[in-house]
Amino acid sequence: MAGSIDVSIRRLFLSMFFPVLFLLFVWIVFISDHALDLEIFYHGLYPRKLSGLQGILLAPLIHGGLRHIFANSLPLFALGSLLFYFYPTLAFRVSLASYLLPGIAVWLVGRSSYHIGASGIIYSLAAFLFLSGLLRHHLGLMAVSLLVVVQYGTMVWGVLPLQEGVSWESHLAGMVTGLGLAGLYRNKGPKGYLTYAQSMGLFSSNISDNEAAERVPWDEYEVEGPLKPVPPQTEHNTEEVNN
């Protein structure tokens, strides 16, 4: 029991490591920009201009002011930590796609203006966590989906051009990216389970090493993996098993 708790705590801290590291870098960029008057705003993403291509890589690191960076910091930490905790085998792929794809989409079809900030990443992570839990029919991951809806559900209004000075294109591109990634990786990572049927002896589960590594924390109390009917026990096949 103590060993299981230690593993869960270690996994919790590891899941926060990369989001904190990314946020630390974002804040270093922000402080350096304002302390040294670097005006890196102009290195943001500008659609359909070659000079604006750099913004695909740089725009998520650039923020216009304290209100902007504070508004993005908590969601980046919370959603990033949830991703690395519950989807450890997918986290890096989803994070990389969430970083790059919204920027590429905005560069192709966005308004002719500078687009900065990490909100595209936030929308992508929120959309992925929401839909992925529903697609997997996994009770625990569906609870994560519900948590995302309760905490960040109002973000959906951000994909509409309702507020001046807000890159709603980045929000929309991020949401589409996250939903697409959830569909793309729906058969990878944590699996669903049928504990009642298995507890009644109707099915058995073959769990590979990879599937075991993909379990979410409470899966040690559940059975997951491909379901397979258990043949009825007879005297003949019981002897074979014992041999």
For the chain, give every domain's residue range. 2-184, 195-242
Token readout for 233 is 């026990």
Q: Give the mean pLDDT of 165-171.
A: 95
Fold of 2-184: Rhomboid-like fold (1.20.1540)
Q: For the residues of 163-222, what is the DSSP string, one character each?
A: STT--HHHHHHHHHHHHHHHHHTTTSSS----HHHHHTTSEEE---HHHHHT--GGGGGS
Euclidean distance between CA atoms 17 and 179, whole angstroms:
25
What does DSSP assign to residue 227?
E
Confidence of residue 211 (pLDDT cuts 50, 70, 90): low
**Given pLDDT bands bounded at 50, 70 and 90, which one contains residue 238?**
very low
The secondary structure of residue 115, as a DSSP letter, is: B
Bridge partners (DSSP) of residue 229 are: 203
Residue 182 pLDDT > 80: yes
Residue with tokens 């001046």: 164
Q: Examine the pLDDT at 110 and tell me if it is beyond 90.
A: yes
The pLDDT score that the predictor gives to residue 4 is: 64
* 45-102 residue pLDDT tens: 999 999 999 999 999 999 999 999 999 999 999 999 999 999 999 999 999 999 999 9
Q: What is the pLDDT of residues 83-96, one digit of tens each?
A: 999 999 999 999 99
What pLDDT is recorded for position 6? 75
Q: What is the per-residue pLDDT for 190?
A: 85
One-character DSSP codes across 31-98: HHHHHHT--GGGGSB-TT-GGGGGHHHHGGG--SSHHHHHHHHHHHHHHHHHHHHH-TTTHHHHHHHH
User: What is the residue-averaged pLDDT of the chain?
Assistant: 84
Question: What is this structure's pTM?
Answer: 0.79
Residue 132 has pLDDT above 50, yes or no: yes
Distance CA 176, CA 181 (A): 9
CA distance 88 to 64: 32
Confidence label for 126 from pLDDT (cuts 50, 70 and 90): very high
Share of the chain above pLDDT 90, in %: 68
